[in-house]
Amino acid sequence: MTLKIAFQGEPGAYSHQACVEARPDYTPMPCATFEDVIEAVRSKTADLAMLPVENSTYGRVADIHRLLPESGLHIVEEAFLRVRICLMAPPGVALSDIQHVRAHLVLIPQCRNFLAENNITSEASADSAGAAAHLAETREKGVGALASELAAQTYGLDVVARDIEDHHKNTTRFLIMARSPDLSRRGSGKMITSFVFRVRNLPAALYKAMGGFATNGVNMTKLESYMVDGQFTATQFYADIEGHPDDENVKRALEELDHFTHSITVLGVYPADPQRD
């Protein structure tokens, strides 16, 4: 039986690379949208979903926090991917031959210094791996693409220059999601618990809700808010904490949180990726 892991984007996308690195024994399955990724797992077309949630340079991925609670899926693992950008071109093309590149709008500014030094102009594309695929098909003269090395391998392009990003710590965090939760402790390292909650409409409700984590010594590594149901007054919070729900201090903190919230939904309990530190 072939196990599949779904991702958003074209083959060769960074999400594809994350699948290859985190689940080398699974077959990556490209999907057009995040919603399609989630539906592929819900419908059992795929076994796991690989979803990007935040980037160290550009912050959280748009819409993903809204989709996670509604997905019906559960976080079972996190994966961190260093974003290494390659300049690629059809075989036989040298760096000096390239005057223009295409890539996703987010990728181009990350290579501003390299492009300026080599007098290369740029153009935004809907998808970096898609730009590589288009270049492999058209073989436009003087044109290159910015994407992952996996994209170059996928579409038969030559890597003209590697690691051309201005900042060499750019990293994307992904969540691996499944149909069933896994609340077991895995490994000897830290565990992460992710959940969403809505506070009651009371003065200082959020402040009081957070107090339980401080008094119980629970480290909260992420807290983000976003509107729900199109209302400015309806706010949901997404949080990551270090620890397992069975830990006494985590249990007490969540019990205190419950006093000041309308709802708490645990999205997943999973090992902290070593790259988190």
For the annotated catalytic residues, the residue numbers are 172, 174
Sign for the CA dihedral angle at 241, 245, 246, 248 comes to positive
Q: Is 68 in a helix, a strand, or coil? A: helix
Q: Is 46 in a helix, a strand, or coil? A: coil
Decide if 66 contacts 228 (C-beta within 8 A).
Answer: yes
The pairing of beta strand 86-89 with beta strand 48-55: unpaired
User: CA-to-CA distance for 217 and 201, rounded, in angstroms?
Assistant: 26
User: CA-to-CA distance for 221 and 70, rounded, in angstroms?
Assistant: 22
Distance of CA 157 to the CA centre of its chain: 26
**Amino acid letter, 243:** G
Q: Is 244 in a helix, a strand, or coil? A: coil
Cβ neighbours, 10 Å, residue 274: 10
Nearest to 212 by CA among 187, 162, 172, 249: 249
Phi, psi of 44 (to 5 degrees): 70, 15
Cβ neighbours, 10 Å, residue 190: 16
Phi, psi of 3 (to 5 degrees): -85, 140
